[in-house]
Structure 1
């Protein structure tokens, strides 16, 4: 979990390169064997809980609510990440940081699951597993991602395994090759 080590990765890199390589390999194996199945289990559990608690008898309304929670939540987290970085730091307020960061992670994870669940339910309902339409929508999505030069953001296990190397807990890293500046 990003930030939970509070700077331990920088001290590990200062040792021997063989030791650091061993730790990187161990991290990758642990990520693939333990963390990845745990994440899949978490997603499946939250998806199932949403099916029980969010309009269980109305798949359209459930899909709309999940989509709104997913989109609005991602926008909210994107807009507030600088605020959290500024006021919550493990070196300044350690206990508050750990409590808030765990609540933040839980909420963000629920938002992520809903961001996928909502559109998925709506696609299932409106297109009723019509392979031609679903393949067309997937093709359009790939073309749009390619035109926006963001197609490489969709790589995932088992084709790609990415470990976190970001110091700031609340920063959501992307693979975009652009620099962001705050112009006023």
Structure 2
């Protein structure tokens, strides 16, 4: 019991102080790098091209996943590692490109005002709830995917579960990529801009400190309460499925708001930190730090575009998980590898002894 509590505390510390900052570093730097290199003098064209690139990559992921899952196997460790990490990198880039393009176009066409932001937030929230897809707004620190034990590393989930190879499947994919993804960005941008315009300090440093502190308090609170929430969601799944959806959507709303606060504050602090330095160098360093750090810690799939899920579809309230079972999963993975290594060494030594005995036996002269 004590060891389990300690592991949960360690997981929470990793989430708040290591994992999540690395995620924000990757997003912030990738967002800024796209702005630096993709038609910086024409923001409208840059925004539309950014969206177009992301749609092409995200749609392509649905039609290439079966081939990748079939031919890129974990047994071939080197090729699997290289291809899977490249796939994760491309999908992560497509996600950032999609959000940046939609976000920048909204800034240009609608402007940055509280009424406009609230309208955008309302459209996004109502649209996702109506489609029973509100939980797709979850991002780190509210949702994590580990890189270990990934039998279907390349699998991207389409929304309506239509049969592959049909026209309906193509419509399903396009609907998720174009409509659901856009509604998710509307929810995030609405909350983000309301925060930015309503916090009184105009100083980016103080705004970042205040919002980041609020985000940390909310994230820690939700981490502590996640397990009772999951139990209640699991109970409602069997007794009152509709109430489970309502309850999970309320929880996801709080989780999303805590994540927006966390990201907004840390994003502002990162922007302040790099002022006065060469933007190309600093952004590439942050980019490498973010993706490389998450890859070494084996949580880089948390950056990846993973597809779409329905609200309330998990029987045990898995959609409400705040922290990855990092210690348990990684330690279990290492133990399995050590056990496998021991088995290989034991087999090899046994085989060696057998060969030696067989060799000695052959050397015995037959009378």
TM-score (norm 2): 0.40
1:55 aligns with 2:34: no
Cα distance between partner residues in 2 of 1:60 and 1:182: 35
Moved more, 124-133 or 107-116: 124-133
Question: What residue is the counterpart of 1:38 in the other structure?
Answer: 22
Gap runs ≥5 in structure 2: 167-367
Q: CA deviation at 1:72?
A: 1.7
Residue 23 and residue 78 in structure 1: after superposition, are their counterparts in 2 closer, same or farther (change >3 A)? farther
SS of equivalent to 1:129 = coil
1:94 aligns with 2:98: no
Residue among 80, 99, 104 paired with 1:116: 99
Cα distance between partner residues in 1 of 2:127 and 2:46: 27
Question: What residue is the counterpart of 2:120 in the other structure?
Answer: 137
Q: CA deviation at 1:161?
A: 4.2
Q: CA deviation at 1:26?
A: 3.2
Q: CA deviation at 1:150?
A: 0.7
Q: CA deviation at 1:40?
A: 0.3
Cα distance between partner residues in 2 of 1:64 and 1:74: 15
Q: CA deviation at 1:20?
A: 6.4
Please state which structure has a larger fraction of its residues in helix.
2
SS of equivalent to 1:52 = helix
1:146 aligns with 2:129: yes
Q: Tell me: higher relative CO, structure 1 or 2? Use CA pairs within 8 A at least 6 residues apart.
A: 1
1:54-81 Cα distance to aligned partner (Å, 9 max, x none): 0000000000011111222111112222
TM-score (norm 1): 0.76
Cα distance between partner residues in 1 of 2:87 and 2:74: 14
> 2:23–2:140: 8 Å Cα contact kept in structure 1?
no
Residue among 47, 56, 60 paired with 1:76: 60
SS of equivalent to 1:56 = coil
SS of equivalent to 1:149 = coil
